[in-house]
């Protein structure tokens, strides 16, 4: 494997990891009744040669923000 192939494989792995993390977070949120409709991997990550992907939590309405707050507070205790 040459250097470029190694970098490409690593980039693909990083994007796959970001998608897995997004899916895990989505499942955990659903488990406590919270749906973030805009939850996604930042699309710009797919355009970079050496991605540093971010998971965007997106925007939500007030009810969802309250549900998320309650879930976080419940987990704190």
What pLDDT is stored for residue 48 in this prediction? 76
pLDDT of residue 1: 56
The candidate with the shortest Cα–Cα distance to 37, out of 63, 57, 65, is 57
pLDDT for res 12: 86
The pLDDT score that the predictor gives to residue 44 is 87
Please report the pLDDT score of residue 35 as a whole number.
93
Q: Please check whether residue 42 is in contact with residue 55, taking contact to mean a CB–CB distance below 8 angstroms.
A: yes
| Mean pLDDT for back-to-back runs of 10 residues, the chain (77 residues) | 65 90 96 93 84 90 94 84
- Structure confidence at residue 8 (pLDDT): 67
Domain extent at residue 62: 3-76
33 torsion bin: left (phi>0), alpha (psi -120 to 50), beta (else): left
Provide the domain count of the chain. Answer: 1
pLDDT at 46: 82
């Amino acid at each position: 494997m040459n250097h470029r192939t190694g970098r490409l494989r690593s980039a693909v792995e990083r994007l796959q990891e970001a998608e897995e993390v997004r899916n895990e977070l989505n499942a955990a949120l659903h488990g406590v009744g919270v749906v973030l409709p805009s939850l996604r991997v930042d699309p710009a990550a797919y355009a970079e040669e050496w991605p540093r992907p971010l998971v965007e939590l997106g925007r939500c309405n007030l009810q969802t923000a309250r549900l998320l707050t309650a879930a976080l507070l419940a987990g704190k205790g």
